[in-house]
Structure 1
Amino acid sequence: MAKGSVDFVLRPFEGLPGEPDWVALKEVVPAATAPARTTAEHGSKDVLITTVLPQAWPALHRADGVILLALQTSTHSGDASRDLAAALLEAIEVEPGTAVEVIGLPEAGPRLQDVLDLSVPFEVTVHDSFAYWLAPDVERTSDLEAAIQDADEGIIDTVKIPGVEAAYWCRMGAKEFLRWAQPHDEQVVLDGLARLHARRESGFAGGKFIGYFRSSGLVVPVWELARGTEADELDGAIAQFAPRFEAALASTEPLDANERRARAGLVARQVTLR
């Protein structure tokens, strides 16, 4: 590898508060934010982590001084954390009201884990509009309103399930789904799901487990829910399912023949996002 280049990192958000939520916002949540703050070394700046920005900008130094950092952007190195840190550091330097439109291939340097204050919890707010792109006191011209309305049309209904880390209900067309990013290593999650699937216990709330995404070194299992299931109806079902899931994840027993077959079927249904 060339001098100064960035090594590949399988789990680029490992060590950040709320790693599964970072992955969820990067891949499966359409419009959401979470506050962050840079370290004193980097100016103790307020940062709003967001899913996406206009025209796929990596970052925006908003007119009111708040810095927005987008997760759903193209990465250029083997370490998404380094790429995002490069965009964040550039956004700190530009004038308020300026977007960071392009980030090239960064050399080795600080990562988000080095730039952000890790004592700040990653508390996600899901939005039904991208109006937060604008500072509160910015005059909303007809062109700005039209641009936000156009972006809003692509937002699917999404709700973060309270009391559960990185679990998101969504409605796509006439179907409802739960996408639940897991904090554990991929192999642990697959083994746990295989144990449940072999016993026909992998579904809940009248729905069924249908597959999973792989992204940033983590697994995001997906359940198709019973038709018409609303987000606020899931609390009890998840509370009943969670102990079974946790026990399956904690088990260190070798998979039996049925569980190995179930695991092979799960792997065949995976979708690797990044």
Structure 2
Amino acid sequence: MGKSKRNSPKPDSNRAQKLAARRAAQEAAAQAVTRPFEGLAAECDLVALREFVPSATATLKLSPNVAAKRAVTLATVLPGAVAALVRAGDEPTGFVGTQVQFQSADPAADLAAAILWTQSAAPGESLTTATVEGAPRLSEVLDPGAALDLTVHQDFNWWVPEGVTPDPQVAATIEQADQAIMPSARLELGADAVGAAWWVDAGEKAHIRWVRPEDEDQLMLALARLHAAGDLHLGEGSRFAGSFRTHGLLVPVFDLDREKHASEWEAPARAFDAKLRAALKSDTPLTSEERRSRDGLRSRQVTLR
């Protein structure tokens, strides 16, 4: 006997569309690169710029393999959330965005393709979506050992070249974007500190979101050791709020007293980083209290992508 077709959805039915969308989402998840920026010295900052930093720019150091025609500036988001654009002027400059409207399963490939596009595009052109097929790895387009020399902005006035008066529509767009910005800063922790710690004033509270490059499981064990010892904080006026996972990295988050300036958290953050690195070196089995801490920390963990 043949199989019953009673449960087979009609091709144009809502159920068929939902099943097709579900399969597409599952296929995209299977193709997603777990840790796209791995191997780059700027990995932690690239993750931060892509996920939560509102307005920042950095001039990229391209690989000698790239026949560079013009300089390229990395940005959090460009007008219209496009992938890239080339700003006209005496010396045309390429801009590439990390927070884009359309993306593939590999954000590093998106960025590599967008950077290469800026080298051949004409001034005044913009790229809505990067074509990643055949694109080289990002580590072949950027200098993998170069950190980002970041400029953090508290507005989006950099969207318009200096000395240029924007038309009313552009000015209104910038004003609207500025209203959504929360004051942010990257903590300067010195060469010995690990990862990228970003401060933000979210209104009622301030936070530090610290993108760490260590293995997720090992970092969670180290955080559990500090929690059990009462050291999972950045000093007076702070508390551990939880963590989230994104692009293969774990990001601890701390709630802060917003009355303190971002720079006032740099010394406590350096002290915490030293404790955390010491905990990461420990290979002793977790105590029962540390295991309870680990389980509690995991229950408060969120996965973004």
Report the TM-score when normalising by structure 1.
0.90
Query: Which one of 50, 74, 83 corresponds to residue 75 of structure 2?
Result: 50
Contact 1:209 1:224 in 2 (8 A): yes
Contact 1:61 1:91 in 2 (8 A): yes
| Cα distance in 1 for residues equivalent to 2:97 and 2:294 | 34
Query: Structure 2 unaligned runs (5+)?
Result: 1-27
Contact 1:36 1:122 in 2 (8 A): yes
Aligned residue for 1:36? Answer: 60
Q: CA deviation at 1:184?
A: 0.9
Aligned residue for 1:102? Answer: 129
Q: CA deviation at 1:247?
A: 0.8
C-alpha RMSD of the superposition: 2.1
Contact 2:189 2:270 in 1 (8 A): no
How many residues in Structure 1 have an aligned counterpart in Structure 2? Answer: 269
Aligned residue for 2:148? Answer: 122
Aligned residue for 1:19? Answer: 43
| Cα distance in 2 for residues equivalent to 1:92 and 1:7 | 28
Q: Does residue 1:197 correspond to 2:221, yes or no? A: no
Amino acid of the structure 2 residue aligned with 1:50? A
**Quick check: 24-33 or 90-99, which moved more?**
90-99
Amino acid of the structure 1 residue aligned with 2:210? W
Q: CA deviation at 1:9?
A: 2.6
Aligned residue for 2:96? Answer: 69
| Cα distance in 1 for residues equivalent to 2:203 and 2:152 | 19
**Quick check: 143-152 or 181-190, which moved more?**
143-152
Query: Which one of 87, 91, 115 corresponds to residue 88 of structure 1?
Result: 115
Query: What SS does the aligned partner of 2:225 have?
Result: helix
Percent identity over the alignment is 39
Amino acid of the structure 1 residue aligned with 2:218? V
| Cα distance in 2 for residues equivalent to 1:130 and 1:103 | 23
Q: CA deviation at 1:51?
A: 0.8
Q: CA deviation at 1:74?
A: 5.1
Contact 1:210 1:224 in 2 (8 A): yes
| Cα distance in 2 for residues equivalent to 1:120 and 1:134 | 27
Q: Highest CA radius of gyration, 1 or 2?
A: 2
**Quick check: 132-141 or 22-31, which moved more?**
132-141
Q: CA deviation at 1:43?
A: 2.4
Report the TM-score when normalising by structure 2.
0.81
Q: Which has the higher contact order (CA 8 A, sep 6+)?
A: 1
119 and 223 in structure 1: CA distance in 2 versus 1, 3 angstrom threshold: closer
Amino acid of the structure 2 residue aligned with 1:188? Q
| Cα distance in 1 for residues equivalent to 2:118 and 2:168 | 27
Query: Structure 1 unaligned runs (5+)?
Result: none
Q: CA deviation at 1:75?
A: 6.0
57 and 76 in structure 1: CA distance in 2 versus 1, 3 angstrom threshold: closer
